[in-house]
Amino acid sequence: MPTHTPFAEPDTAFDPAHASRLDVAGELLSLLRDATTEPRPDTQLEALTLAVAADLPVLLWGEPGIGKTAALTQLADALDLPLTTVIASVHEPSDFSGLPVVGDDPAVHGIPMAPPDWAVRLVRAGRGLLFLDELSTAPPAVQAALLRLVLERRIGALQLPPGVRIVAAANPRSSAADGWELSPPLANRFVHLQWTHDHEVVVRGLGGTWPRATLPQLAREKLSEAVDFARRAVCGLLTARPKLVHQLPSNEARRGGAWPSPRSWETALRLIAFATAAGSSREVLSLLVRGAVGDGPGLELLASLDRMDLPEPEALLADPAGAALPERGDLRQAVLDGVVAAVRNRPEKSRWDAVWALLVRAMETGAPDLVVVPATTLATLRQENWDVPASIERLAGAVSLSRRADRAAARAAVAVKAGR
């Protein structure tokens, strides 16, 4: 009579049928992971790669599931950099500052701080992309330990090689699990990029084709010019607006983002130089500059950059017929006002006539209403012995029409107010 063993071990014999089913499942998973890339304009991806090329720490802000981790994985593959992911929130401060290791004679040799294994692997590789994920869920003590890693690239006694780039990701506190605001010292070390999804990119990516991340092509012949341009832009703004040099926000949430300091202005200067040498678009430059010093100071810097590209008033006065005026209305208005101011500072009949010719050209190549204010101001600068140029007749219609429109708008505003 056979005996029954209630706790007998299960049959561990190899089952080919089960193995083949897993193999087929593996093939299906492989097909699902199979994807290609294509060159496609992507402003935020271009901004990210430019900051990585500039060797600046980048912090991607975005809601969970938005694709931050996937973008970093694709970036590492495209740049052929080994990716090392470290979840900041699950580590202790000693994991970044180093663990003390007692040697033979601490009184003589001291106590070295041993780095973690992932840092040793990065040093051995000599290059790589270090991805610090879930930064906003790291407690303050861990954030403090990260300061030296992000700024000096040091972990314990180990120095990360120049070929290592650092990118971090964080969720807003409202959507982070046990989230913390970033400490101001740590936040001020990053270029902050708001990561959002593009509907077309997501749909095409799920179909198997994602945008391709490539390092910017820097024009070697433009390097010196780019550095000079960046320095003039930042120094010019801070000379005119000295209060912008350092502004620690009073709001706790804003302290955890981008704000102006000498360190972040140096970051902005580097980004402008790289963007100029790469010929990046204004949209990319806007993301980077505002991500370094904040929205307000960043927009002021962008406006300053626009003014730096404007033609010099004296060059326009020398050749008004061949003048190339900006297309944007605000920039064109600034140019015309600048030329009129130059004549006011040095009034001469030939210069006065040249401005009238320039205003005619501006009216013919752009919005006529932009010439009204400078024309009115220029008319007040006429001296008694100066003949009225014939070109004024061509401007009279535009000035008269604009004034009638202004009076009509004023009457309409009064009527609306009276109706209330």
CB 326 within 8 A of CB 335: yes
Claim to verify: residue 172 and residue 284 sit in the same structural domain = no
Dump pLDDT digits (tens) for 12-42. 555 665 668 788 888 899 998 888 888 888 8
Q: Does the structure show a pLDDT above 80 at 382?
A: yes
Q: Which of 186, 211, 236 finishes a domain?
A: 211
Domain-located, residue 18: no
As a whole number of angstroms, the distance between CA 124 and CA 122 comes to 5
Mean pLDDT for the chain overall: 83
- The full DSSP string for 256-321 is TS----HHHHHHHHHHHHHHHHHT--HHHHHHHHHHHH-HHHHHHHHHHHHHHTSPPHHHHHH-ST
- CA distances (Å), origin 276, targets 59, 121, 231, 289, 294: 22, 35, 12, 12, 20
What pLDDT does residue 327 have? 84
In a domain, 124, yes or no: yes
Q: Do 228 and 118 fall into the same domain?
A: no
Lowest mean pLDDT among 16-30, 56-70, 152-166, 347-361: 16-30
Range of the domain at 387: 313-419
Note the pLDDT of residue 17.
59
| Sequence-ordered strand ranges (E) for 121-174 | 127-133, 154-155, 158-159, 163-170
Mean pLDDT of the 52-74 span? 88
Domain assignment present for residue 10? The answer is no
pLDDT of residue 79: 85
End position of a domain, from candidates 308, 339, 372: 308
The residue among 210, 203, 221, 167 whose CA lies nearest residue 50 is 167
Task: Say yes or no: 142 and 263 in one domain.
Answer: no
Residue with tokens 């935020």: 44
Q: Are residues 197 and 228 in the same domain?
A: no
**203/180 same-domain check:** yes
pLDDT tens string 151-208 = 889 887 789 999 999 999 998 876 655 667 889 999 999 999 999 888 888 888 888 8
Tell me, yes or no, whether 318 and 294 share the same domain.
no
pLDDT, position 90: 85
In a domain, 333, yes or no: yes
Asked, for residue 411, whether it belongs to a domain, the answer is yes
Q: Do 158 and 300 belong together in one domain?
A: no
Whether 7 is covered by a domain: the verdict is no
Are residues 302 and 319 both part of a single domain? no
Range from 17-31, 333-347, 376-390 that averages highest in pLDDT: 333-347
- The 10s digit of each residue's pLDDT in 212-269 is 878 889 999 999 999 999 999 999 899 888 999 999 998 888 899 999 999 999 999 9
* Distance, CA of 263 to CA of 246 (rounded, Å): 9
Same domain, yes or no: 198 and 268? no
| The last residue of a domain, from among 283, 308, 333 | 308
Instruction: Encode pLDDT of 117-151 as tens digits.
Output: 889 999 999 999 999 998 888 888 888 889 989 98
**399 has a pLDDT exceeding 90:** no
State whether 248 and 354 are in the same domain.
no
Please determine, for residue 51, whether its predicted confidence score (pLDDT) is greater than 60. Answer: yes
CB 227 within 8 A of CB 269: no
Instruction: Indicate which CATH number applies to the domain containing 85.
Output: 3.40.50.300
* Residues 284, 174 share a domain: no
Q: What is the pLDDT of residues 277-324, one digit of tens each?
A: 999 999 999 999 999 999 999 999 998 888 877 888 888 888 888 888
What is the distance in angstroms between the CA of the first residue and the CA of the last residue of the chain? 106
Q: What is the pLDDT of residue 293?
A: 97
What pLDDT shows up at residue 161?
92
User: Into how many domains does the chain fold?
Assistant: 3
408 in the same domain as 281: no
The b/e string for 103-138 (b: 16+ C-beta within 10 A; e otherwise) is eeeeeeeeebbbbbeebeebeeeeebbbbbbbbbbb
